[in-house]
Structure 1
Amino acid sequence: MSTAPPVTAGRSVTSSASESSPGERWPFATVSVGVVALVFALVCVLTTGRYGYFGDELYFLAAGHHPAFGYADQPPGVPLLARAMQSLFPDSLVALRAPSLLAAVGYLVLTALSARELGANRVTQVCAAGVAALAPHLIASAHLLVTYSFDQTLWACVVWLLLRAARREHRGQPANGPLLAAGLVTAVAVQFKLLIPVLWLVAVPMAMLFGPRRLVLRPGLWLGGLLAVLSAAPGLWWQARNDWPQLAMARVVDGETTGGVRAFLNASSHQLGPVGTVLVLIGLCGLLVTPALRPHRFLGVTVVVITVLFVVVSGRSYYTAGLYAVLLGAGAVVAQLWWTALGKYRRQWPRWAAAAVAMACCLFTGLPPAVGTLPLTPAPRVNPHNVVARASLAWPSITEQVARVYRALPRDGTETAVITRDYWSAGALHHFGPRYGIPEVHSTSRGFWYLSRPDDAVRRVVYLGGERERLRELFGRVRAVDSVETDPALPTYYDGMRIWVLEDPKLPWSRLWPRMHHMSLW
């Protein structure tokens, strides 16, 4: 099967794919890629509500009830989405996670579109999307309403638009349209995570070094950049007013992340799966050295520089997930070029046989880790190291036990507050607490601390977590009244955690609350 693009005016029938201009593209495989996306979406919908709310999702629901231009640990995008979905579809996990699923489906489509920009035919586009659908990280992100579910797709969209811009510049056409669109997407991205400026700060210099140099002179680039800066301004104002908690959060991430090149690459490999890892490596090498992909070489160098940067600052491995789409597309195109180069040998193979062998190999190696990522394991058999699953179990039970202590307190007119040391449980008590009689909850942890604090009239606290010695420094009376007990078959992080009753705060809450704040989870 020839993979050369259709014949166009003024072009020889014998031209190979490797000789084609980057300006020539195959039609998009709309139906086939749509089928891949539909199957992916259906599988995710059928499995997304297996366990329960993840701790971060509960925090986002609480943050959404305190609208702001920014939060200590993220911009306002996800909290506002969480509030909107909860308002439209109360207590529906499937609905809450629907935006993340749509973002993951968009990522699949952008992978195929990126492959098309690089010269992929219809079959190659579908293969690129299929490999992306098997990536464990993408499957996991489709099952959770979290910041990176959107950030990675928005990065992939910006990179795809840069591919389009580079192709237009290679043809001698101004790329103002794609560049302006990339700025608009960036303006949306900074409402979900503040990482995408890193992409621009690296990609623009790389375009100046490796071309197309005219890209950085286009008005569309700078107008799009201005729109992105204006979009980020309210969040930056909030950060400045609150002493830049995002910087403190970066130090926490550094402390929570296992550093080093090996750990970063190993985690990235697990996120991509075996097939995705191989195709990404092929794609990276292709962007860097393949002549047919030379107009896009600056993006290959950008990937290398960003990866090194995140390794150096101990960033989390999924920070680079937005770059996988273009690498998967490039890897598929390189494989297509190899297939074309082996023309005289592949004629001995029927087209369907070669496709069947390739598909069988991909499914045999890529399907097990993909299926293993789905939340199919019965809750009692969840791996203790599965953080997402363990932090999605027994929230109503934990809430009920804290509420039982709260309700048992004497009704003597003493103002009482409910506080937790970690923001996961605070989110759970915020969400489930009203049905058990808890009116409001506060937390000393991370971004939840900024949402609210106890009134100065509060003289008694029901407190979840913490250590007696530390609490005695802050309160006159400290009593342990209960411990969290959940189903032994459903292990959580809260089993055995103390529930305290604290009385007589030693300082006014305006001074006590800052002393209790910490940016860690626990």
Structure 2
Amino acid sequence: MSALYAPARRFYGGWLLAFFFLKLLGQYLLIHPTYQLHRDEYLHLDQANHLAWGYISLPPLTSWVAWLVQALGNGEFWVHFFPALFGALTLALVWALVHELWGGLYAKLLAATAVLLSALLRLNLLFQPNSFDILAWTAAYYCLIRYLNTRRAGWMLALGIVLGLGMLNKYNVLFWAAGMLPALLLSEHRNRVFGHRATYLALGLALLIFLPNLLWQIQHSFPVVWHMNELQKTQLVHVERAGFLKEQLLFFLNSLFVLVAAFVGLWRYAPLKPYRFVGWSVLFTLALFTYLRAKGYYAVGLYPVLLAIGAVYLEHVLRAGPWRYVRPVLVAVIAALFIPMLLIAFPNRPPQAIQQKGERYRAMGLLRWEDGRDHALPQDFADMLGWREMATKAEQAYQLLPDSLRQHTLVLCDNYGQTGALNYYALHRLPPAVSVNADYVYWFPDLHQIKAIILVSNDALSAEDARHFARVQQTGTVAEPLAREYGARIYLLTGPDAAILQQLKQEIMDGQQLK
């Protein structure tokens, strides 16, 4: 490729803006009002109250976005806005990738439609690191392709920034690098990449950006290792390799032909030949994920670049003769095949309606939770129910306490979802809730002055634990039957003895040492 290489002239920015805002708006229309925030979202939002260079569950970038959400009022509109924005930016990058590969308007429209009407709509619903992760993967491909096309070192440095920020968001971006490294070594670009100092400057820049989190990991004895081991034992052990591969087909099922066209085009269409390393990197990363029994959505960041490549090839194949009449048909096929996905893959219907269509969901594997068993609702949907009720009942328990005890009350929960939900819905009306689960193990108040505990627990309080309190009162339970937290109990415990407080201190110390 010549250093004077220039992509197709027209960018069609007006069309892109239309898709961009359609993507933003669409995210708000896909959640039925019955649903609340997801359990993971509450933890990420709470991290804004404890800004640090790292957390047990993930690196710090999501907490920075959570801080911005909080500064904007902490309403659900802004909680949903940022993942939607990252999704819209991913679509814009796919448009730019098509442009960089000499694709015209049709290729851009086809690729944008495939991105818009896909599993990305589902991932971009939730305030989690996944939306920025996919954006980072797509941006990494774009920067690398731009560098190879233009030979400008600035694009390699931009790649370093993208990878550094990607690591500050989610360590998953390491798998992008793990697949790309052998792909580039086997490609015609190896000397241009590994023989140029810009590559090593970019690597140093990525490490510099990531360094604060790395130092945090060292200071806290690498909690990411503990977290991955725990994830392997409790969740990934239930992931079947065949199931992982099946999920890859489902993510972009309605545009699968575009993904197939990408691989065909990389090997048959001469203008795409310089980008064969992209295909190899995808295959290497998929093989690694399959071997490690990764969750299916870990690999979603691989596909936006393939949609861009496939759209460029299909535009070429359908450029003349009667084949040109197939062009609008393919766009219509993507839209038509997305309708069944729209009906079952999104929380856009009330839980009772989903329960009535349970067999359809079960056949698609959507009712299988991390425990390997089928339930009444998809796990993510069940994780969006019951939280307000729980927070209200915890507040009611707190109101039963005399004023003399309220300032000496600890709000203790079993898991991070319960804890974060209480801190979101009962902010300033309850003392900050804590848990020995996840990041909350570092955020406990001083226990010396504790005279009462509001306990939110999935299990009944044992007689052994109850004897450590002067008074035990169960004040409520979560009554929403389809919530994952259904049956969680709210206890008001007063007069804790020294032994139970010492036991809790030991659990906190053990948790911090392990993590």
Is there any run of 5+ residues in structure 1 with no aligned partner, and where?
1-18, 169-173
Instruction: Evaluate the alpha carbon distance shift between residue 20 and residue 516 of structure 1 in structure 2; reply closer, same or farther with a 3 A threshold.
Output: closer
1:356 and 2:341 are equivalent in the alignment = no
Provide the rounded CA distance (Å) in 2 between the counterparts of 1:233 and 1:451. Answer: 24
Deviation at 1:327, TM superposition (A): 0.8
1:270 and 2:250 are equivalent in the alignment = yes
Deviation at 1:517, TM superposition (A): 7.5
| Residues 56-95 of structure 1: pairs in structure 2 closer than 5 A | 56-88=40-72, 90-95=73-78
CA contact (8 A) 2:409 2:452 kept: yes
Provide the rounded CA distance (Å) in 1 between the counterparts of 2:464 and 2:436. Answer: 16
Q: Of 76, 81, 84, which residue of structure 2 is paired with 1:101?
A: 84
Provide the rounded CA distance (Å) in 1 between the counterparts of 2:256 and 2:3. Answer: 28
| Residues 445-484 of structure 1: pairs in structure 2 closer than 5 A | 445-467=437-459, 472=464, 476-477=468-469, 479=472, 481-484=474-477
Count of residue correspondences? 484
Structure-2-length-normalised TM-score:
0.85
Q: Of 223, 236, 246, which residue of structure 2 is paired with 1:245?
A: 223
Q: Deviations over 1:468-516 (max 9, x none)?
A: 587947973494614413345xx21222222334532522654232346
Is there any run of 5+ residues in structure 2 with no aligned partner, and where?
356-375
Q: Of 93, 108, 119, which residue of structure 2 is paired with 1:125?
A: 108
Provide the rounded CA distance (Å) in 2 between the counterparts of 1:22 and 1:262. Answer: 45
Deviation at 1:234, TM superposition (A): 0.9
| Residues 8-407 of structure 1: pairs in structure 2 closer than 5 A | 23=5, 25-26=7-8, 27-47=10-30, 50=33, 51-88=35-72, 90-136=73-119, 138-168=120-150, 174-213=151-190, 214-254=192-232, 255-257=234-236, 258-272=238-252, 274-287=253-266, 290-340=269-319, 343=320, 347-348=321-322, 351=324, 353-370=325-342, 372-383=344-355, 384-407=376-399
Provide the rounded CA distance (Å) in 2 between the counterparts of 1:397 and 1:473. Answer: 26
Deviation at 1:48, TM superposition (A): 5.2
CA contact (8 A) 1:399 1:433 kept: yes
1:485 and 2:485 are equivalent in the alignment = no
1:421 corresponds in structure 2 to 414
Deviation at 1:262, TM superposition (A): 1.4
Deviation at 1:25, TM superposition (A): 2.8
Deviation at 1:263, TM superposition (A): 0.8
Provide the rounded CA distance (Å) in 1 between the counterparts of 2:419 and 2:135. Answer: 29
CA contact (8 A) 2:45 2:66 kept: yes
The percentage of aligned residue pairs carrying the same residue is: 21
Provide the rounded CA distance (Å) in 1 between the counterparts of 2:513 and 2:297. Answer: 25
1:512 corresponds in structure 2 to 507
CA contact (8 A) 1:444 1:518 kept: no
Deviation at 1:189, TM superposition (A): 1.6
Greater displacement, 199-208 / 472-481: 472-481
CA RMSD of aligned residues (A): 3.0
Q: Deviations over 1:181-224 (max 9, x none)?
A: 11112222222112223322432332122120211222222212
Provide the rounded CA distance (Å) in 1 between the counterparts of 2:503 and 2:449. Answer: 9
AA matched with 1:354: V
AA matched with 1:206: A
1:496 and 2:478 are equivalent in the alignment = no
Structure-1-length-normalised TM-score:
0.84
Q: Deviations over 1:84-107 (max 9, x none)?
A: 11222x242112221211110111
Provide the rounded CA distance (Å) in 1 between the counterparts of 2:194 and 2:467. Answer: 59
Instruction: Evaluate the alpha carbon distance shift between residue 293 and residue 511 of structure 1 in structure 2; reply closer, same or farther with a 3 A threshold.
Output: same
Provide the rounded CA distance (Å) in 1 between the counterparts of 2:312 and 2:269. Answer: 10
